């Protein structure tokens, strides 16, 4: 795959220059999106680098750390080519009591040091809180991140959430550098309050779910059967989620008519990149074809105003759907 020229954008107050298309590495963990092959995953990371991608997002919980381990293998001897964002918080989470295993600053710091060991690096560019629960958890994470930043083990820190009130609380001192949040043609809730706030406060926006967990690739239909171990099985098993899934499929058919000389996935990514608040979109990719498609979206002419108007007629401005932590 020939080297592509991707545009860089500044990731908020972190000051990092990142490509507007990155890659999300949840799927390569192998525990939530169906079966994976480690060599294929490593090859996908290699091809992403060749394509010009610099931003790689993972988490301690993806494959119980396996995603981080694979990224660590890929970075051997070339750490300087990667801008790495990882997350911490969900591992060993007690859902019934809303408690994380990282209930002291010392445990939080030790947890991040475990992230670093799996990644085989002495620092990460961005560390993100992966949970959004208030006192005392937020204070523990903030203090831990700040200590790690002082020690040079993390360059900047941020939070992964779709909760506007939590974002504001996390940024109370003005030092939150990034927000990772769900945003797509099918979920535009961030446009109402979150995006304006991020722009006002120089918070770089990392968009997860730009393809709505695969729905906006157009590859799913009413009779699609998800493989064993694929978390998307709940779209069919849970009545409320199944209703939303059917509504999304109907919208996808209308959006498909707007794709023209691009794939539906490229249309979806171009929509995300068109928002001035967005710094980088991180679609996942398990194959070379998917990766090329994602990169290609950044190399196409931007959406026209007429196309944006047509999209607005299909999906409401500021409208949304139920999202899940990622």
Name the residue range of residue 198's domain: 8-314
- 282 in a structural domain: yes
183 annotated active-site: no
Per-residue pLDDT, 95: 65
Summarised one tens digit per residue, pLDDT across range 69-96 is: 999 999 999 999 999 999 999 877 666 6
Summarised one tens digit per residue, pLDDT across range 5-42 is: 789 999 999 999 999 999 999 877 766 656 678 888 89
- 325 in a structural domain: no
- 42 in a structural domain: yes
Per-residue pLDDT, 1: 42
Per-residue pLDDT, 3: 45
Per-residue pLDDT, 4: 47
Give 2's pLDDT tier (boundaries 50, 70, 90).
Answer: very low
With a cut of 60, say whether residue 189 has pLDDT above it: yes
User: What's the average model confidence in pLDDT over 117-133?
Assistant: 95
Question: Which of the residues 62, 102, 157, 183 is marked catalytic?
Answer: 62
User: What's the average model confidence in pLDDT over 39-56?
Assistant: 92
Summarised one tens digit per residue, pLDDT across range 145-186 is: 999 999 999 999 999 999 999 999 999 999 999 999 999 999
Distances 277 to 6, 189, 203, 246, 280 between C-alpha atoms, Å: 18, 13, 9, 29, 10
Per-residue pLDDT, 225: 73
CB 287 within 8 A of CB 294: no
User: What's the average model confidence in pLDDT over 230-242?
Assistant: 71
Per-residue pLDDT, 296: 93
- 22 in a structural domain: yes
3-state secondary structure the chain: CCCCCCCEEECHHHCCEEECECEECCHHHCCCECCCCHHHHHHHHHHHHHCCCCEEECCCCHHHHHHHHHHHHHHCCCHHHCEEEEEECCCCCECCCCECCCCCHHHHHHHHHHHHHHHCCCCEEEEEECCCCCCCHHHHHHHHHHHHHHCCCEEEEEEECCCHHHHHHHCCCCCCCEEEEECECCECHHHCCHHHHHHHCCCEEEEECCCHHHHHHCCCCCCCCCCCCEHHHHHHHCHHHHHHHHHHHHHHHHHHCCCCCCCHHHHHHHHHHCCCCEEEECCECCCHHHHHHHHHHCCCCCCCHHHHHHHHHHCCCCCCCCCCCC
Which candidate, 80, 77, 78, 56, places its Cα nearest to that of 68? 56
Domain containing 49 — which CATH number?
3.20.20.100
Per-residue pLDDT, 238: 66
- 3 in a structural domain: no
What total number of domains does the chain contain? 1
- 58 in a structural domain: yes
Per-residue pLDDT, 318: 66
Interatomic CA distance for residues 225 and 232, integer angstroms: 10
| pLDDT higher at 291 or 29 | 291
Give how far the C-alpha of residue 82 lies from the chain's centroid of Cα atoms, to the nearest Å. Answer: 16
Per-residue pLDDT, 36: 76
With a cut of 70, say whether residue 311 has pLDDT above it: yes
User: What's the average model confidence in pLDDT over 207-216?
Assistant: 92
Per-residue pLDDT, 166: 95
With a cut of 90, say whether residue 218 has pLDDT above it: no
Give 133's pLDDT tier (boundaries 50, 70, 90).
Answer: confident
With a cut of 60, say whether residue 322 has pLDDT above it: no
What percent of the chain stands above pLDDT 90?
66
- 154 in a structural domain: yes
């Amino acid at each position: 795959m020939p080297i592509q020229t991707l545009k860089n954008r500044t990731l908020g107050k972190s000051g990092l220059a990142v490509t507007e298309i990155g890659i999300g590495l949840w799927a390569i963990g192998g525990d939530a999106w169906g079966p994976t092959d480690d060599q294929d995953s490593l090859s996908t990371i290699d091809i992403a680098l060749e394509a010009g991608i610099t931003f790689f997002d993972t988490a301690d919980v993806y494959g119980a750390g396996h995603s981080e381990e694979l990224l660590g293998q890929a970075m051997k001897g070339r750490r300087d080519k990667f801008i790495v964002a990882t997350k911490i918080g969900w591992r060993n989470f007690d859902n019934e009591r809303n408690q994380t295993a990282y209930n002291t600053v010392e445990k939080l710091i030790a947890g991040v040091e475990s992230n670093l060991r799996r990644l085989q690096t002495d620092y990460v560019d961005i560390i993100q809180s992966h949970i959004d629960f208030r006192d005392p958890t937020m204070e523990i994470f903030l203090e831990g991140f700040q200590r790690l930043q002082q020690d040079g083990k993390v360059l900047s820190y941020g939070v992964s959430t779709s909760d506007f009130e939590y974002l504001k609380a996390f940024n109370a001192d003005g030092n939150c550098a990034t927000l990772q949040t769900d945003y797509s043609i099918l979920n535009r809730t961030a446009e109402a309050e979150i995006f304006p706030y991020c722009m006002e406060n120089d918070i770089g926006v990392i968009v997860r779910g730009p393809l709505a967990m695969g729905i906006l690739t157009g590859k799913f239909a009413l009779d699609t059967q998800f493989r064993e171990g694929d978390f998307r099985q709940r779209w069919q098993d849970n009545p409320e989620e199944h209703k939303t899934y059917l509504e999304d499929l109907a919208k996808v058919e209308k959006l498909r008519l707007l794709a023209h000389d691009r794939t539906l996935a490229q249309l979806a990514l171009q929509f995300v990149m068109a928002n001035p608040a967005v710094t980088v979109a991180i679609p996942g990719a398990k194959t070379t074809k998917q990766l090329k498609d994602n990169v290609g979206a950044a190399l196409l002419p931007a959406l026209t105003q007429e196309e944006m108007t047509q999209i607005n007629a299909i999906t409401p401005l500021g409208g949304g759907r139920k999202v899940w932590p990622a």
